[in-house]
Structure 1
């Protein structure tokens, strides 16, 4: 029983990171109706920038983390202004293919500057585990889950109560109507990409402190996609719950497969098996908006 409780706790931590990255998916989709397939590479870019500032430039971790967030905002602005703004009015598939190409460019740049070997962050928190309900939990796991929860709460309040958040929700509901009310659609698009880059960078830094980083970190975007589908592609609450559910199920199923069947590597495919089941039962996810098209 303790073994499965440990898997559950670890799954919650991973799920919290999934929720943050899923938030980036949802924000961009709600504002632009485009699925960003470079989300995982944004996670990787943020993780490597923080690593470079901390290890290569010897900047204290807290300042390196804050500078990474500033870099993420600038990266979001550059992507929106230079790459995506010229495609406004084009078919959605064209924009999606551009995000696929952008993922390859970001991955190639990371491999060019840092190579493909695993990089390890310097230890920031104590290694001595904290005992919770009789189970040892590493402080970095507790900090990761707490940071994910706090950031998600901040962004939820921002979207619900702030003027900019309301404008983003209005744009997601009807771009033409929002523009007629004086909302700058282009500015909303830029804000969406900045938020997506920031939450992705935070997720990358958290993962870097737990497992280290390498160029395969970009694959996280594909692993988070089942969480987005489970929660609903246009639901912030769905992104949070979907990430937690996928993280826990992925971890517990992998542990059970190892213990009961002697099978390793089930973690890599568990999320996609869950995705197939979700799409067969509830194509719009738990909280997604069901769209009815008349033919």
Structure 2
């Protein structure tokens, strides 16, 4: 039982990180009605900015206070993501209002490759470290209940708590603020939203800025765990099954989908993997997403599409 609980807790913590990345997809889809393939590149771009600013600030200013350097690096990286959001709206999305969904989809693909290449040009292509003071050593819990206790990584625990807090804030933002309601209106119909006075350009800048903030937090967490390298953008691919499972328009769906994927792949790897020769953790999420596409393509919490003729 202790081993099962340990695997489940590990899956829940991984699931919260998947949900955090998936939130970026949901945010953009809510505002533009298109799937944002650039989210993975945004995670990488934000993590690169954070890592490099944390290196450059001490060199330029002589600061040796690690906390202050990280705070300044975070502010600088967030400034980069907000500037990127403004440029994306001015140069790309603002020119594609009321275009077909496939046009917006191709635009996000173009943004993906641009951010990958531009990030390498200005920040370099080496592997960088992000050290924000997250504890690395594992701890043992419930030693008096289970023999040997339950092994939990402190870094994973802190990351899961941060991700859960951010998810809760964003869910409240969409549900209870006028801007959140405006985002939902824009997603439903661009022209109708404009006709009632919703400023489409400002809404898109806001949502891409919020998505950039989410990407920055995700990039810091994953960069602290894995190092900042260009394979980091592939982490976002694991969020694709999450949004398929939870629904492209649902913030709670991203949370539930992330937890299901995280726990499912961890338990399947531990208990089913040995019988199949291992590697099940790599494809489990995509197999589950494929099953949902066949049975319930809108996901658990997605809006069901009804065509009337």
TM-score (norm 1): 0.91
- Partner residue, 1:220: 235
Inter-partner Cα distance in structure 2 for 1:113 and 1:270? 36
Pair 1:121-2:130 in alignment: yes
Inter-partner Cα distance in structure 2 for 1:253 and 1:168? 37
Q: Does the 8 A contact of 1:47 with 1:213 survive in 2?
A: yes
- Partner residue, 1:290: 304
Q: Decide which of 173, 176, 196 is 1:158's aligned counterpart.
A: 173
- Partner residue, 2:88: 79
- Partner residue, 2:158: 143
Pair 1:247-2:256 in alignment: no
1:180-195 paired onto structure 2 within 5 Å: 180-195=195-210
- Partner residue, 2:145: none
Q: Tell me, what secondary structure is at the counterpart of 2:304?
A: coil
Q: Does the 8 A contact of 2:183 with 2:203 survive in 1?
A: yes
Structure 1 stretches of 4+ moved >6 Å: none
Pair 1:201-2:210 in alignment: no
Instruction: Report how many residues are paired.
Output: 294
User: Residue 290 of structure 1: CA displacement?
Assistant: 0.7
Distance 1:11 1:115, change over 3 A: farther
Q: Tell me, what secondary structure is at the counterpart of 1:126?
A: coil
Q: Does the 8 A contact of 2:49 with 2:123 survive in 1?
A: no
RMSD: 2.1
Q: Decide which of 246, 261, 285 is 1:271's aligned counterpart.
A: 285
User: Residue 257 of structure 1: CA displacement?
Assistant: 4.5
* 1:25-77 deviation per Cα after TM superposition (whole angstroms, max 9, x unaligned): 11211221111111111111111111112234336223322332232222222
Inter-partner Cα distance in structure 2 for 1:79 and 1:248? 36
Q: Does the 8 A contact of 1:55 with 1:121 survive in 2?
A: no
Q: Does the 8 A contact of 1:37 with 1:96 survive in 2?
A: yes
Pair 1:69-2:78 in alignment: yes
Structure 1: gaps of 5 or more residues: none
Pair 1:31-2:31 in alignment: yes
Q: Does the 8 A contact of 1:37 with 1:221 survive in 2?
A: no
User: Residue 224 of structure 1: CA displacement?
Assistant: 0.7
Inter-partner Cα distance in structure 2 for 1:78 and 1:103? 14
1:39-50 paired onto structure 2 within 5 Å: 39-50=39-50
Inter-partner Cα distance in structure 1 for 2:169 and 2:157? 18
Inter-partner Cα distance in structure 1 for 2:76 and 2:285? 33
Inter-partner Cα distance in structure 1 for 2:76 and 2:163? 18
Structure 1 residues 275-284 or 57-66, which shifts more?
57-66
Greater Rg over alpha carbons, structure: 2
TM-score (norm 2): 0.87
Structure 1 residues 18-27 or 229-238, which shifts more?
18-27
User: Residue 286 of structure 1: CA displacement?
Assistant: 0.4
Q: Does the 8 A contact of 1:38 with 1:221 survive in 2?
A: no
Structure 2: gaps of 5 or more residues: 59-67, 143-148
Q: Tell me, what secondary structure is at the counterpart of 1:57?
A: helix
Inter-partner Cα distance in structure 2 for 1:123 and 1:187? 32
Inter-partner Cα distance in structure 1 for 2:203 and 2:212? 14
1:68-107 paired onto structure 2 within 5 Å: 68-107=77-116
Q: Does the 8 A contact of 2:98 with 2:190 survive in 1?
A: no
